[in-house]
Chains A and B, each alone.
Chain A
Amino acid sequence: MSTLQPDWRKRFSQLRAVVTIEMRRYFFTRQALAIYLLALAPVVIIGLHAITSPLGRHCNIAEDTEILAGIIQLFYVHLGIFFGCLILFTWLFRGEIVQRSLHYYLLAPLRREIIVLGKFIAGAVTTSIIFCVAVSLSFIFMYGHFGPKGQQFVFDGPGLHHLGAYLVITVLACFGYGAIFLALSLIFRNPVIPGAFFFGWETISSVLPATLQKFSITFYLKNLAPVELSGKGLLSVFTVVAQPVSEFIAIPGFFLFIGLALYFACWRMRTIEISYAKD
């Protein structure tokens, strides 16, 4: 056993090196700019709402709570985080191939699984930070303009619990979509088309049979939402929970889903060859 320990220590420091190298890049790329736009668009809208309705003159907390739940579940989870992760994670390996720099990793004495995990962790942490900041700002603006009533809701009512749940949903969505898009980018030269297919799948998953729903990220995340949305008409497609499950099943199920996607990505990475000319 003692001979194995240094190997694991070395692998951990290699993983840390990959994460550090990658994270230094992600916050300042063109891709990151698009993610900032996706993340901050609702913040701007809620900020304007807060300015136009000081001390909650034209609204009430119950209504705004439902609006915030809608923004997070429908905009952030379905669109913002989805496309943010599509942009970043499909570029992790594809970008290296386009820039012809993937061989620097492949020629280093580290297992290819560590490259996949390192890039995944760096991407997931980056998107989580950006979207958690955006969700937190949305939350602050949404309740801040109510003044003392808002403070009471946040600190003495269910507010902090809601915020905690939204942040957990945000982080899980970043990790879940990230794992899927990372795996897709290792199969398809242009992952946008399978990404669009996956978007369609996520959208209609609520109306699919119960077994198929389990192959969807939103299935697990909906069950963690603190506020149930009462969607009507077409919106109900996004909001219905056909078969609710407890968070004790949803979270492990979600991690199993992520694990499968990453396992596939690692397997694919082990067989990858450098052929820049073809790409």
Chain B
Amino acid sequence: MADTNREIVFNNVSKFYGEVLGVNRVSLTIPPGITSLVGPNGSGKTTLMNLMTGLIRPTEGTLSVCGLGPDQPEEFFAMVGYCSQFDSFPRGITGFDLVYNGLMLHGYEYEKAYRLAMEAIDRAGLVQAAHRKVAGYSKGMRQRIRLASAIAHHPTILVLDEPLNGLDPMARAETIALFQSIAQEGLHVIVSSHILHEVDQISDQVILLSSGYVVAEGPIHDVRTDVTDHPMQIMVRCSDPALLASKIFAMNHAVEAKLHTDGKGLLVRTRDVNNFYLLLNQIVESGALELEAVAPADDDVNSVYQYLIGSEGNSI
């Protein structure tokens, strides 16, 4: 049975901005772990995040975050940290003051607020620039100070809207490691990103959005399995790919088999992946070929994205 005190639950939620659709009839249950929201611009990712954090209210439906709603701000925002996409700050503020003021609003004593602020700034790698004005920060630094502000109070739910935008490769790797360490503590990390291979790298589950609708949700492998319109692609590296190709064409679920240029690999497209693996087992057991590696070739966010939404992931 679902534990709503540990899950984020959307129940038939719709949001309209006047006549413009934000999201429509979204019903979702998001368990702890890293969940990525993926979709093109205008698909409803930010709307979903703003709904989750109470910055906007649903036109219809209800939602709860670990059993609480934004109408209980004192408890709700003590456990939620939101790194929004708004690249704006109070005028004239320094990085330290941004984080410190946020903590003072939590009602912390000065010493504790100072300690937590410095700890978060340190985690974001901005100690040297902490007392400089945010207006003079680079885009990546502004992104990191927002992240510091979102994690400073040690939230159990971290909502991150395009958190990797503007970060250099080193900072990206560090930020991803930070998300992973937070998720390993059993916390929620909800991330929206345009960079699909990074989403792939970090996500436990994905939510694919298009034009305000949830197109698919769940662990990426499950989502891929559900996409029956597109045959699964499997790369097999073995001693005799030609033999394997001849055997699988005897089965009617195989759609295509393509020999790799090095002569040691075979890319198979099949409509029935379970039967394919069964056949492969039988061939290997019979000793007709030696198997080196088997791996799904399109069991990733980018492929699922292309199949369901239909554009190149990296160019969203």
Contact = CB atoms under 8 A, between A and B. Distances in A.
A18 B149 CA distance: 17
Contact of A109 (B76, B90, B91): B76
Nearest to A277: B17
A99 B91 contact: yes
Contacts of A10: 74, 107
A137 to B, nearest CB: 29
Nearest to A96: B90
Contact of A274 (B50, B109, B149): B50
Contacts of B86: 100, 103, 276
A104 B104 CA distance: 12
Contact of A105 (B84, B98, B105): B105
Contacts of B76: 109
Interface in B8-25: 17
Interface stretch (B51-59, B124-132, B226-234): B51-59
B56 A14 contact: no
A67 interface: no
A101 interface: yes
Interface range on chain B (Cβ under 8 Å from partner): 20 to 34
Contacts of B84: 103, 107
Interface in A231-279: 271, 273-276, 278
B91 A110 contact: no
Contacts of A271: 57
A78 interface: no
A51 interface: no
Interface in B70-100: 73-78, 80, 82, 84, 86, 88-92, 98
Nearest to A274: B55
Contacts of A111: 73-74
Nearest to A95: B91
Contact of A110 (B90, B92, B105): B105
A33 interface: no
Contact of B107 (A100, A110, A112): A110
B264 interface: no
B17 A112 contact: no
A57 interface: no
A271 B109 CA distance: 30
A21 B73 contact: no
B88 A107 contact: no
A108 B80 CA distance: 9
Contact of A17 (B54, B78, B88, B101): B101
Closest 3 CB pairs of A and B: A100-B88, A109-B77, A108-B105
Interface of B: 17, 50, 53-57, 73-78, 80, 82, 84, 86, 88-92, 98, 101-102, 104-107, 109, 149
23 contacts: A10-B107, A14-B106, A14-B107, A17-B101, A17-B104, A25-B91, A101-B88, A101-B89, A101-B91, A103-B84, A104-B98, A106-B55, A107-B77, A108-B73, A108-B77, A108-B102, A108-B105, A109-B77, A110-B73, A110-B106, A111-B74, A274-B56, A276-B86
